[in-house]
Structure 1
Amino acid sequence: MTVRGEKPVCGSGNRAGEYDVGLHTLGLFLVLIASIFGAGFPVVAQKVKWLKVPTKVFFACKHFGTGVLIATAFVHLLPTAWLSLSNPCLPDFFVVQYPPLPGIIMMASLFSLFTIEMWMNNKMGGHSHGGARGFEVSDASTTVTTVTTVPPPRLNQSSSQSSFETDISSPVEEEAQSREAKENAVMSETTVTDVEAQVDPLVYRKMNMNITLLEGGILFHSVFVGITVSITINGFIVLLIAIIFHQVFEGLGLGSRIAAVPYPKGSFRPWLLVFAFGTTAPLGQAIGLATRNTYDPNSAFGLIIVGIFNAISSGLLIYAALVDLLAEDFLSEESNHVLTTKEKKIAFLWVLLGAIAMSVIGAFA
């Protein structure tokens, strides 16, 4: 039982070392460049046709990014939430009376996202996130999965005709029926290839909502990542390098998902999503620079805010990464039709590499 008189006091006290404003400002711009490059590269490569990025690159980025997002939730967000909300300087409610609070918050955010998605399924139907390869839907001019429905030949016969009479239909009639079927097929293919994102509007709305929720879970913690970088003095260089890799990997994972959504030609939404991710961590760094003499991440307020928001973000990312990304890419009926067994093995290898890379960064950030 904790004795009230022995409870430590929250706060960092006097920080050792001199704050280098110039170096921290440079770090802000480095993180900004890394974030925008990571999230923007897949989108630019998908939209700018003359770059001619091989489809294998999109395939690798998409599945590598899945591993990164999973590791972000389990290695970066959840441990930080638990450490923050279990600090012994906090009120007894967090430490003694209900220490599982971070898990409750995470579970609540997970169930909230599940409820939203269940409602979306009931309203819109279908579950799609851009194809198991990551490039089938959003680039109709180059790679399109075309499903052509050709009506069966019309049989000009009465109900009393025998099967023998049907089988000996004239060659002229058969040729006309064949020509009509080919024309229908050509018309169907033209319709698909002439429209840049031939997707059912309800499915598109669902995909759009999925990527928005996924980015929301990422943006929550990016602000605090930026604040942490800006207020760090000792070990700043190591932390900055780790955060740069963190932002590039996480950006690639998010950007490849954004690129897979079939936004209408000329839509600014994918660029808005890239901009939001690219500027959120630097925004946190700017806040940290401005409040470096007043904000204390080890104060009770700082610990509680960081712990709660990281727990919320971890729940959102765990659900989105495992259900909407991993399960859809490997266990869905769509993936069984689109991916071969060899492609699934390669894709899962990229997932593992992404998770390992982000886990290694977790030792420094």
Structure 2
Amino acid sequence: MADAEAAPACHGPRSEPFETGSGSIGLRIGAIFILLASSALTTLFPIVTRRVPRLTIPSSAFDFAKYFGSGVIIATAFMHLLEPGADELASPCLNENFQEYPFAFAFAMISLFVTFFVELLAFRVGSKIAQRLAYDPHQGGHHHANAHGHDAQAVNGGSSPTAAMTAKGSEEDVNSVEKGFTKDQPLSAAASEILGVAILEFGVIFHSVIIGITLGTTSDFKILFIVIIFHQMFEGLGLGARLSLLPLAPKSLIPYIGAIAYALVTPIGLAIGLGVRNTYNEESATANYVTGIFDSVSAGILLYTGLVELLAHEFIFNEKMRTAPLGKVVLNVIEMFIGAGLMALLAKWA
């Protein structure tokens, strides 16, 4: 009898009234605005301080936010998405096939490869759009694919073969220094960085909605609410640092739009959760399917972004990092470990 009472209610509305859980309705409504304010402040802080001269902070602070955020993103993928997704998709409420196969890891793998494929297509198909956004400080404006090529043609128009070869060599040197285009590189490093952060933003927003819905429907509200505040602040700090460092025009609104979008999605998810709180059963089969699949898919996106875009590009393929003093490299790695460690610790409560 006790086992029957402890068994999860796999169908229908929640088994007990919503009000019996921790956290009053007033507190949950207030949480919408608390999450909005805390997420917006931490995400906008790196952007505003980098763009407003009076608020300028040392570059080391941006480095800390950037590498700390990288660790946060990777720990979020493993500890806050993949592990819960595996638990959800192993629920006894689900089809017996889910008990026999690790679907959470399969969904994560599929989303990882889909993210790779989307980025591959974006580099080829979306290069013109990304290039229009990419800002070249050496040129004082947007960097265009054929900018140097046209200059070379003008030089070559009335020159000897030797002069043409010299002009071609000079063109390649300029491209090398300014990270511009060559025939074999249709997308500049600047545009590549824009696409990478766009994918990161998508993955973070995707799972933040689920976090909000979970918070709005859970019966164990107070502890989860505190943990999610820190979760969103840490993640927002890392995302804001990436947005602030994008090679965009100084007056571009894209970083602000990205920060505000991130700050809004969890409160929106929380509002949705409050709206369906009396009919949504967090232990039902439907909830397990939806949450488990979304968590697993988000984990794959963030794993790809964290390991490829953030770690590989920042530490291994970054020329500045390869030539930087060993002490600085070690410090940046430690900052990343701190972010991952703190986010992994939060997984003890949520």
Q: TM-score surpassing 0.5? A: yes
TM superposition shift of 1:93? 2.4
TM superposition shift of 1:265? 2.6
Instruction: Output the amino acid matched with 2:43.
Output: A
Q: Give the aligned partner of residue 214 of structure 2.
A: 228
Q: How does 1:24-43 map to 2 (within 5 A)?
A: 24-43=28-47
Alpha-carbon contact 1:66-1:351 (below 8 Å) kept = yes
| Pairing partner for 1:107 from 109, 119, 124 | 109
| Pairing partner for 1:215 from 197, 201, 208 | 201
State the secondary structure of the residue aligned to 1:306: helix
Percent of residue pairs identical: 35
Structure 2 vs 1, CA of residues 17 and 314 (structure 1 numbering), >3 Å: closer, same or farther? closer
Q: Is the aligned partner of 1:83 residue 2:87?
A: yes
Q: Is the aligned partner of 1:71 residue 2:71?
A: no
Name stretches of at least 5 consecutive residues in structure 2 with no aligned partner.
Answer: 1-6, 128-134, 139-169
Higher mean alpha-carbon deviation, 285-294 vs 55-64, is at 285-294
State the secondary structure of the residue aligned to 1:29: helix
Name stretches of at least 5 consecutive residues in structure 1 with no aligned partner.
Answer: 1-6, 126-136, 141-183, 193-197
Q: Give the aligned partner of residue 282 of structure 1.
A: 267
Q: Which string of whole-angstrom CA distances, capped at 9 and with x for unpartnered residues, describes residues 141-188 of structure 1? A: xxxxxxxxxxxxxxxxxxxxxxxxxxxxxxxxxxxxxxxxxxx9xxx9
| Pairing partner for 2:253 from 268, 279, 284 | 268
Bigger Rg over Cα: 1
Higher mean alpha-carbon deviation, 272-281 vs 84-93, is at 84-93
Alpha-carbon contact 2:77-2:303 (below 8 Å) kept = yes
Alpha-carbon contact 1:138-1:260 (below 8 Å) kept = no
Within 1, Cα distance between the matches of 2:250 and 2:341?
36
Instruction: Output the amino acid matched with 1:294.
Output: T
TM superposition shift of 1:290? 1.2
Instruction: Output the amino acid matched with 2:114.
Output: S
Within 2, Cα distance between the matches of 1:231 and 1:70?
26
Q: Which string of whole-angstrom CA distances, capped at 9 and with x for unpartnered residues, describes residues 197-239 of structure 1? A: x9769323322221111111111111111111122333x2221
Task: Name the Cα RMSD after superposition.
Answer: 2.7
Q: Give the aligned partner of residue 66 of structure 2.
A: 62
TM superposition shift of 1:350? 0.2
TM superposition shift of 1:293? 0.9
Q: How does 1:50-199 map to 2 (within 5 A)?
A: 50-96=54-100, 99-121=101-123
Q: Give the aligned partner of residue 258 of structure 1.
A: 243
TM superposition shift of 1:119? 3.6
Within 1, Cα distance between the matches of 2:136 and 2:110?
33
The normalised TM-score by structure 1 is: 0.74
Instruction: Output the amino acid matched with 1:251.
Output: G
TM superposition shift of 1:139? 8.1
TM superposition shift of 1:118? 3.1
Alpha-carbon contact 1:138-1:259 (below 8 Å) kept = no
| Pairing partner for 1:328 from 289, 313, 336 | 313
Q: Which string of whole-angstrom CA distances, capped at 9 and with x for unpartnered residues, describes residues 284-333 of structure 1? A: 11111111111222211111111111111000100110111011121115
Q: Is the aligned partner of 1:21 residue 2:25?
A: yes
Within 1, Cα distance between the matches of 2:116 and 2:21?
46
The normalised TM-score by structure 2 is: 0.77
Within 2, Cα distance between the matches of 1:33 and 1:139?
33
